[in-house]
Structure 1
């Protein structure tokens, strides 16, 4: 057996590629904040050019990327184990994660260069592989080891939930930058509808998958939206109310588990 065949069978090449993709995404994201391609980083664009987008969360919310990257690094090390490299589920998940990482790098450049509609396409290219990875991991469908839960399932739950929120925000930013008039509805009305739809999606995932991590990320995001948009009563009340509703679902789920 040749060395290349052995590496292929052991999944070593894919494991290395996954680690490299995670590392590249982390490095490029960090560099884009220090040396943004378009002169302003993502946060600066959000706070200047897009500051009037009504669904933007408070700045502190983006600190969740630290947790996301910790989770991705943990997964990268987990999938490097021989037992995981030979697991067909982990192999599929790693391939999808590589695609998501590549799309995220593209998103960083497109957004900082103010190509907002192209950045929406890149965001969807992050979201769809993450949905696929989440489904392969079967969160909430069967019991798994503690390692699989904490090093694979939870990192992807957190990452997917944040990208789901970010997709909604990204679309709102693209519409705002295009001068969209809302087809007769006000920006506040559209924002309220988007918040409700996002919360329904989160609620379904929490209820059907019993995924606490997913729900907690939405609560984090919605509280941050309520705080930033505190001057607009319809928005902060909707965001806060939806966050409380998800808290309620999590409490009901916890109660049911202890019965």
Structure 2
């Protein structure tokens, strides 16, 4: 533990730790309730039909097919698992949880806010909120990477923290691109003379670059790679079999997914060799 973390821990009290745990648990409940509303199961309009269908599978060239959204079930399960796990007494004063709790809470609140904005048909607001969600996830995931050496490490903790946040970040990266594209299209953006396919291919390329950067940043996070590649592949599926076909965009999405997978595996191998070399000294 660093001197700074010792000073940070010294300023915390049992009551502030308990408050953090309770707020994260409440945030997880709010996010899950929001997901039920967004799915239409609790009386709300399904996301694909809300906001005039702006986020449906065939709304834009970057919209993934409907099957892609099943990943939310895994992400929410991980978030609920994390909320329960961090609530355990052993995690109350854990320095890693102290640093992660509020960033994760912010992502949960923004998640619910995004669903509500889409349900209200406020597409412009939804684009802003999902961008804020992506930024907050980068903050939370950055904290997770920076604190890997803090606290008590366990396979369950690694799965619930690193695994869940990686999935969350990777998928929201793809969802942000799709959401902002939908907003721009419905707002009448003409593309400065570029064709819709040209823009879609360029954005897919940016998503692939983001995946490579995350791979290097995280030293080969498998969970972030899986969700980002998952989203890109489902864009390809939608462009091949959906009502808005585009072979160039489909090929670009598949290629970007492949690049993300390869970059992640290479980053992981390099990181593992570095750890072994360090251990051998």
Instruction: Please indicate, yes or no, whether the TM-score normalized by the shorter chain is above 0.5.
Output: yes
User: Is the CA contact 1:107–1:122 (under 8 Å) kept in the aligned structure 2?
Assistant: yes
Q: CA deviation at 1:160?
A: 1.3
User: Is the CA contact 1:56–1:225 (under 8 Å) kept in the aligned structure 2?
Assistant: yes
In the alignment, which residue of structure 1 is the partner of 2:5?
none
Q: CA deviation at 1:145?
A: 3.4
* Cα distance change, pair 255–18 in 1 and its aligned pair in 2 (3 A): closer
In structure 2, stretches of 5+ residues that fail to align are 1-11, 277-281
Matched, 1:20 2:34: no
Greater Cα shift, 144-153 or 13-22: 144-153
Greater Cα shift, 17-26 or 96-105: 96-105
User: Is the CA contact 2:51–2:119 (under 8 Å) kept in the aligned structure 1?
Assistant: no
Q: CA RMSD in A?
A: 2.4
- Of 45, 49, 69, 1:62 maps to 69
User: Is the CA contact 1:17–1:98 (under 8 Å) kept in the aligned structure 2?
Assistant: yes
* Number of residues of Structure 1 aligned to a counterpart in Structure 2: 252
Post-superposition Cα deviations, 1:144-192, rounded to whole Å, max 9, x if no partner, equal 4323311211111111111111111110010011011001111111111
Q: CA deviation at 1:123?
A: 1.1
Greater Cα shift, 61-70 or 114-123: 114-123
Q: CA deviation at 1:219?
A: 1.1
Q: Distance in 1 between matches of 2:146 and 2:64?
A: 27
Matched, 1:164 2:173: yes
Q: Distance in 2 between matches of 1:99 and 1:186?
A: 37
Q: Distance in 2 between matches of 1:59 and 1:47?
A: 16
In the alignment, which residue of structure 2 is the partner of 1:224?
234
Q: Distance in 2 between matches of 1:69 and 1:121?
A: 22
* Cα distance change, pair 142–188 in 1 and its aligned pair in 2 (3 A): farther
* Cα distance change, pair 8–140 in 1 and its aligned pair in 2 (3 A): closer
Q: CA deviation at 1:42?
A: 0.5
In structure 1, stretches of 5+ residues that fail to align are none
Matches for 1:91-110 after TM superposition, within 5 Å: 91-110=98-117
Matched, 1:236 2:250: yes
Q: Distance in 2 between matches of 1:240 and 1:167?
A: 18
User: Is the CA contact 2:100–2:143 (under 8 Å) kept in the aligned structure 1?
Assistant: yes
Greater Cα shift, 126-135 or 186-195: 126-135
In the alignment, which residue of structure 2 is the partner of 1:116?
123
Q: CA deviation at 1:131?
A: 1.3
In the alignment, which residue of structure 2 is the partner of 1:187?
196
For 1:34, what is the secondary structure of its paired residue? coil
User: Is the CA contact 1:139–1:211 (under 8 Å) kept in the aligned structure 2?
Assistant: no
- Of 208, 211, 214, 1:205 maps to 214
TM-score norm. by structure 1 comes to 0.88
User: Is the CA contact 2:114–2:129 (under 8 Å) kept in the aligned structure 1?
Assistant: yes
User: Is the CA contact 2:52–2:121 (under 8 Å) kept in the aligned structure 1?
Assistant: no
